[in-house]
């Protein structure tokens, strides 16, 4: 469909990949969107580059196109002339055919047969699961449960992280990635996962569909996500090699040990992992840890203050009471009243609830798991509703105490009726409003007289003030107040 908007996660990934110097076509293939869409979002940034920068971008775009050319030339009938036509279709101001061929020959000559990638400090982090598994024994049933083993390695220093987890499901995978980043104490520029289901919804050599939650996690940490190409093991050679080392230095020493919990297993894995990271390379004097601390840690981004949490999504309408329900918990959260009746998107984690309307966050709350309860921000409600939302016994007691202790005592007796709290709140508002309508002195006198009758409600105060009984002396008031069935007395409420 034309003009279909892309999700916020992809927009953030476009920015991250563009900052890494990737070409428009490469970013488009990586995220599965058109190159024109990529250009439109990149061009929204202010452009202060000069002619030399423009020339550098032309070469960068051309070189980004060459890996595609190298693969396409293996197919029958594909020529450089055809590929140059495709290049010019996407880059009308690009190089002519002869220059295209010259640059391609030079680029081909610089490509190693093994596709060697020169690793830079703080640049790449490779992650994968091992093919073999460790195990945990259930002490009650004797059942042996297999545990997946997650492995992460930094491309430059080869600093390694490993831990056992329940499964390769998205929740476990994202949790392991977050644990790895915390173990390193920083964030590299690029995350390179394998094409497992938790990372890639649909594997493809050119346009893999990256899992939305993994993109969201990358945006949270400022981490570009670039899955390894399908059936291209050299793209993830670092982690593949490290998996083999993990088998030797972790799996083998643990092969005869029995663990009864995942925590115990991970404690043992962590101990062997430290020995591995502190062991010197075979042909170099330093260890992985020393190389990481010396060269790589300073090149990594700082960790955000909050750890990433997996998000869940829901769409609902804002109700007339300025609240929206999170169906999973049956709990209600307030929204600014101007959004009443509009559709809103709820994005919630284990601890927080964010509410969005047209991609703009309009409310943010701590998550509350109590069913049928309300979390309300006073400023979200209309002015009349704000007053009602603050009704509670403490408010009315403070209000009445500011008038007179006699009124305070009377209000406390009104609040003693717990059967219908909302009804008692309305009675309190009605009684205390007489301080302005009739004056504080008349309200105090009315409360004294109503207390003598043993009746504690709004109607008796209203009757006393309307009939001016509060102005009569105690000696002359016997029989003045009509005593009938409507005056029930304190015993009725017990």
Contact at 8 Å (CB) between 30 and 241? no
- Split at pLDDT 50, 70, 90, the class of 343 is very high
Domain boundary among 241, 273, 299: 299
115 burial class (0-12, 13-18, 19+ CB within 10 angstroms)? exposed
Mean pLDDT of 409-427: 73
Tens digit of pLDDT for each residue in 56-98? 778 888 888 888 888 888 887 888 888 999 998 888 888 888 8
Looking up residue 186, the CATH number of its domain turns out to be 3.30.420.10
- Decide if 119 is inside a domain: no
* Alpha-carbon gap, residue 169 to 138, rounded angstroms: 21
- Split at pLDDT 50, 70, 90, the class of 481 is low
- Pull the structure tokens for residue 341: 């009746």
- What number of residues does the chain have? 494
- Decide if 118 is inside a domain: no
C-alpha pair distances (Å), 197 with each of 12, 141, 146, 225? 22, 31, 19, 14
Kindly tell me if the per-residue pLDDT of 14 is higher than 70: yes
- Decide if 305 is inside a domain: no
Eight-class DSSP state of 301: B
Residues 146 and 270 in one domain: yes
Residue 290 belongs to what H/E stretch?
Answer: helix 288-291
- Decide if 240 is inside a domain: yes
Lowest mean pLDDT among 32-36, 206-210, 389-393, 435-439: 206-210
The single residue listed with the structure tokens 């109607």 is 459
User: What are the φ/ψ torsions at residue 287 (nearest 5 degrees)?
Assistant: -95, 175
3-state class (DSSP) for residue 354: strand
Tens digit of pLDDT for each residue in 276-306? 999 988 877 889 999 999 988 999 999 998 8
Lowest mean pLDDT among 26-30, 235-239, 330-334, 404-408: 235-239
The answer to whether the Cα torsion of 349, 171, 216, 200 is positive or negative is negative
- Pull the structure tokens for residue 279: 């062991």
- Pull the structure tokens for residue 181: 């980043």
Which residues 6+ apart lie within 8 Å of 372 measured at CB? 330, 331
Residues 105 and 138 in one domain: no
Tens digit of pLDDT for each residue in 385-402? 554 555 677 888 888 899
pLDDT at 326: 92
- Pull the structure tokens for residue 474: 């105690």
- Split at pLDDT 50, 70, 90, the class of 476 is very low
Eight-class DSSP state of 49: -
pLDDT at 150: 92
Q: Which of 175, 157, 173 is nearest to 242 (CA)?
A: 157
Tens digit of pLDDT for each residue in 142-162? 888 999 999 999 988 889 999
Percentage above 90 pLDDT, the chain: 18
- Split at pLDDT 50, 70, 90, the class of 122 is confident
Contact at 8 Å (CB) between 147 and 164? yes
pLDDT at 131: 87
Lowest mean pLDDT among 118-127, 157-166, 230-239, 325-334: 230-239
- Decide if 13 is inside a domain: yes
pLDDT at 180: 93
The mean predicted confidence, pLDDT, of the chain is: 80
Residues 465 and 317 in one domain: no
Percentage above 70 pLDDT, the chain: 81
- Decide if 1 is inside a domain: no
Residues 339 and 288 in one domain: no
- Decide if 351 is inside a domain: yes
Q: Using alpha carbons only, how large is the chain's radius of gyration in Å?
A: 35
* Alpha-carbon gap, residue 473 to 477, rounded angstroms: 6
Residues 344 and 443 in one domain: no
* Alpha-carbon gap, residue 27 to 163, rounded angstroms: 32
Contact at 8 Å (CB) between 394 and 415? no
- Pull the structure tokens for residue 396: 């009315």
Residues 329 and 430 in one domain: no
* Alpha-carbon gap, residue 174 to 169, rounded angstroms: 9
Contact at 8 Å (CB) between 15 and 53? no
Domain boundary among 271, 299, 327: 299
Kindly tell me if the per-residue pLDDT of 1 is higher than 50: no
Contact at 8 Å (CB) between 149 and 265? no
- Split at pLDDT 50, 70, 90, the class of 23 is confident
Tens digit of pLDDT for each residue in 205-238? 545 556 788 888 888 888 888 776 555 555 556 6
The answer to whether the Cα torsion of 297, 298, 299, 304 is positive or negative is positive
Residues 223 and 322 in one domain: no
Contact at 8 Å (CB) between 287 and 160? no
Tens digit of pLDDT for each residue in 254-275? 988 999 999 999 999 999 999 9
Residues 106 and 131 in one domain: no
Q: What is the DSSP string of 445-472?
A: HHHHHHHHHT--SHHHHHHHHHTTGGGS
Residues 51 and 185 in one domain: no
pLDDT at 117: 55
* Alpha-carbon gap, residue 443 to 406, rounded angstroms: 9
* Alpha-carbon gap, residue 65 to 26, rounded angstroms: 7
- Pull the structure tokens for residue 384: 């009349």
Extract the runs of DSSP E, i.e. beta strands, from 106-243.
124-129, 134-137, 144-154, 160-165, 190-193, 200-202, 209-210, 224-225
Residue 331 belongs to what H/E stretch?
Answer: strand 331-334
Q: What is the number of domains present in the chain?
A: 4
Mean pLDDT of 347-360: 89
Residues 162 and 290 in one domain: yes
- Decide if 361 is inside a domain: yes
Residues 131 and 244 in one domain: yes
pLDDT at 18: 79
Q: Which of 418, 338, 339, 332 is nearest to 376 (CA)?
A: 332
3-state class (DSSP) for residue 148: strand
Residues 251 and 352 in one domain: no
* Alpha-carbon gap, residue 323 to 56, rounded angstroms: 53
**Strand 134-137 to 144-154 pairing:** antiparallel
- Split at pLDDT 50, 70, 90, the class of 163 is very high
C-alpha pair distances (Å), 209 with each of 197, 215, 337? 10, 10, 38
Mean pLDDT of 360-380: 86
> What residues make up the domain containing 330?
312-382
User: What are the φ/ψ torsions at residue 355 (nearest 5 degrees)?
Assistant: -120, 130
């Amino acid at each position: 469909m034309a003009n279909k908007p892309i999700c916020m996660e992809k927009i953030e990934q476009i920015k991250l990949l563009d900052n890494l110097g990737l070409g428009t076509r490469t970013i488009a293939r990586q995220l599965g969107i058109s190159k024109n869409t990529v250009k439109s979002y990149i061009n929204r940034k202010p452009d202060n580059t000069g002619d030399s920068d423009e020339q550098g971008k032309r070469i960068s775009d051309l070189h980004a196109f060459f890996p595609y050319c190298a693969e396409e030339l293996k197919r029958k009938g594909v020529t450089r002339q055809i590929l140059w036509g495709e290049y010019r279709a996407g880059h009308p101001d690009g190089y002519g055919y002869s220059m295209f061929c010259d640059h391609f020959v030079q680029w081909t000559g610089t490509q190693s047969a093994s596709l060697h990638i020169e690793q830079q400090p703080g640049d790449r982090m490779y992650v994968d699961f091992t093919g073999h598994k460790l195990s945990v024994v259930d002490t009650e049933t004797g059942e042996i449960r297999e545990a997946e083993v997650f492995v992460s390695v930094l491309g430059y220093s080869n600093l390694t992280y490993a831990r056992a987890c329940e499964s390769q499901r998205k929740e476990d995978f994202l949790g392991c990635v977050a644990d790895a980043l915390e173990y390193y104490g920083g964030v590299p520029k690029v995350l390179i996962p394998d094409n497992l289901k938790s990372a890639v919804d649909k594997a493809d050599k050119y346009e893999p569909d990256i899992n939305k939650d993994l993109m969201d996690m990358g945006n949270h940490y400022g981490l570009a996500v670039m899955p390894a190409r399908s059936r291209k093991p050299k793209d993830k050679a670092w982690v593949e090699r490290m998996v083999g080392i993990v088998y030797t230095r972790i799996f083998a020493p643990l092969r005869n040990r029995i663990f009864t919990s995942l925590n115990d297993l991970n404690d043992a894995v962590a101990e062997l992992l430290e020995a591995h990271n502190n062991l010197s390379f075979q042909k170099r004097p330093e260890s992985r840890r020393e190389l990481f601390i010396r060269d790589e840690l300073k090149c990594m981004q700082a960790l955000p203050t909050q750890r990433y949490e997996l998000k869940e999504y829901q769409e609902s309408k804002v109700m007339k009471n300025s609240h929206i329900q999170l169906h999973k918990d049956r709990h209600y959260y307030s929204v600014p009243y101007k959004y009443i009746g509009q559709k809103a998107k709820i994005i919630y984690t284990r601890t927080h609830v964010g509410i969005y309307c047209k991609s703009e966050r309009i409310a943010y709350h701590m998550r509350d798991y109590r069913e049928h309860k309300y979390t309300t921000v006073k400023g979200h409600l209309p002015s009349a509703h704000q007053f009602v939302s603050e009704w509670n016994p403490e408010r009315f007691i403070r209000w009445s105490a500011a008038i007179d202790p006699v009124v305070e005592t009377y209000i406390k007796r009104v609040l003693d009726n717990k059967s219908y709290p909302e009804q008692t709140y309305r009675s309190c508002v009605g009684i205390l409003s007489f301080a302005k309508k009739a004056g504080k002195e008349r309200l105090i006198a009315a409360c004294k007289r109503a207390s003598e009758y043993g009746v504690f409600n709004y109607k008796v105060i209203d009757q006393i003030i309307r009939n001016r009984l509060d102005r009569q002396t105690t000696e002359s008031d016997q029989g003045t107040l009509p005593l009938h069935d409507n005056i029930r007395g304190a015993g009725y409420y017990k």
